[in-house]
């Protein structure tokens, strides 16, 4: 069975959702027969490559909230990440264009190292002090090498703006055709769809139902009108403190 995950490195719910999905997958009886493929989805495709700004600044401008509200949301996200065993820097992170990262992820897919690279990129963006946006291509090359890719191959992709660009755009078009308006978006064997960073139990249900079935895409885990938290064209919903 194939599970395709549309996501963006700038999406905190994708970071959390991946951990929740993997928790369910680890307990799934047929986990060794499940292929996971990561697909591209840019939350901010119109942002120029060099346009980097603090996350708090981005949140206040996008949502019209105060800095205190934005920081409270980051603290809440940090707590949710910690609940999944993930590190999350609630202060000092920045935000930028992720197109080059998606292109590198397609190189990694071709080399059989895609899951390794996406996890390293998530960690670098959400947990480490060094920026994945403002330090230039060599920072991305360094992370690609950590994932097991050849440094020269990564540099060649980054130096050629057309390398894997079509593959990124094709993923994004396919997401739109499947009805994805935000990420993370999980498609199981082209049979079931799970939208948002749902609890692990929802992913367990989806894996069980999708196993061996072939039918039109059905939404899973949307009994709660609020649904799972996701990032969409207007950004990421910021959890508020209770």
pLDDT in tens, 216-225: 566 776 545 4
pLDDT of residue 242: 57
Q: What are phi and psi of 76, to 5 degrees?
A: -65, -40
Mean pLDDT of the chain: 93
Q: What is the per-residue pLDDT across 62-97, written as a single tens digit (0 to 9) for each?
A: 889 999 999 999 999 999 999 999 999 999 999 999
d(CA 83, CA 78): 9
Q: In the chain, what percentage of residues exceed pLDDT 70?
A: 93
Q: How far apart are CA 44 and CA 82, in angstroms?
A: 26
- 23-37, 44-58, 174-188, 209-223: least confident range: 209-223
Position 225 scores a pLDDT of 46
List CB contacts of 27: < 8 A, sequence separation 6 or more: 204
Which pTM was predicted? 0.89
Average pLDDT over residues 17-25: 98
Q: Taking residues 116-138, report their average pLDDT.
A: 97
Average pLDDT score over residue span 129-139? 95
pLDDT (0 to 100) of residue 222: 58
């Amino acid at each position: 069975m194939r599970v395709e995950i549309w996501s963006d490195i700038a999406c905190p719910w994708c970071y959390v959702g991946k951990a929740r999905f993997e928790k369910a997958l680890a307990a799934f009886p047929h986990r060794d027969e499940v292929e996971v493929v990561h697909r591209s989805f840019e939350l901010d495709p119109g942002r120029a490559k060099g346009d980097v700004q603090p996350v708090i600044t981005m949140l206040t401008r996008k949502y019209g909230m105060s800095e205190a509200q934005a920081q409270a949301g980051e603290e809440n996200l940090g707590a949710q990440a910690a609940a999944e065993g993930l590190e999350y820097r609630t202060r000092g992170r920045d935000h930028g264009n992720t197109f080059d990262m998606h292109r590198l992820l397609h190189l990694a897919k071709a080399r059989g190292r895609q899951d390794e690279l996406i996890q390293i990129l998530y960690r670098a963006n959400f947990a480490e002090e060094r920026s994945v946006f403002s330090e230039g291509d060599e920072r991305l090359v360094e992370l690609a090498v950590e994932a097991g890719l050849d440094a020269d191959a990564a540099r060649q992709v980054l130096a050629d703006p057309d390398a894997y660009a079509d593959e990124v755009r094709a993923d994004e078009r396919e997401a739109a055709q499947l009805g994805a308006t935000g990420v993370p978006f999980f498609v199981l064997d082209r049979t079931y769809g799970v939208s948002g960073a749902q609890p692990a139990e929802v992913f367990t249900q989806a894996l069980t139902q999708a196993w061996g079935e072939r039918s039109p895409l059905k939404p899973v885990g949307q009994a709660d009108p609020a649904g799972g938290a996701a990032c969409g064209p207007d950004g990421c919903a910021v959890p508020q403190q209770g």
